[in-house]
Every structure is written in structure tokens, then in C-alpha cells.
Amino acid sequence: MLLVEWQLRESRLECPSCSSPLAQWGHGRSRMIRGARGARLLLRPRRTRCSRCRITHVLLPAVVLPRRADASRRLHDRLCCLVHRSPVLPSQRCFP
């Protein structure tokens, strides 16, 4: 079981708006995320709902940025290429 699932079951995650416990509320829509070196990852994020204010929240992994189809590592590589004006991605240059 993933840590976030356990935290939801044990009511250990709090609403960012009112600090009340979050509860499981299904899943967000599935989306395709572009990873480093052109990898494609299917993501189906967990949706939660606050027990007090009833606002829903989608929980994303740390490697995914909200409202972006690229993983954070891919965006980092692109920015490095722009700054250093290099056609080769840093991850291709630094890692085998």
C-alpha cells in the first residue's frame, strides 16, 4: 500500500484550507505525463474531500507539477538547455 493511501485511511492528511482531515473521494482523471528521455507515464491521481468544508483536492506525486503534462525532471532539463543553449539535454549528457 502506498504511503498516501495509508495516511488517508488513518486521517493523517489535512485540508490545506481548514486543516480538517481529508477522506478518500475516488480518483482524478487519468492523464499521460511526459517523463525524461521521452518516457510516457500514465497517472491516475487520488482525489480527496475535506470532512468539514467539503472541498475536493487532487493529490499529485512530487515529480508531477499541477496543470503540466511534463514531469518536473523533464522541465528541469528543458530549462537547463535554454540557459546553457545546449541542444543536448543535461540528463542525456550526465547520466547513462
The predicted-structure confidence for 8-40, as pLDDT tens digits, reads as follows 999 999 999 999 999 999 999 898 888 777 778
Cell of 39: 518516457
Place of cell 522541465: 75
Q: What is the pLDDT of residues 46-65, one digit of tens each?
A: 999 999 999 999 998 877 77
Residue type, 59: L
What is the number of structural domains in the chain?
A: 1
Q: What is the pLDDT of residue 38?
A: 74
Range of 80's domain?
Answer: 3-94
Spatial neighbors of 23 by CB under 8 A, at least 6 apart, are 8, 11, 48, 49, 50, 51
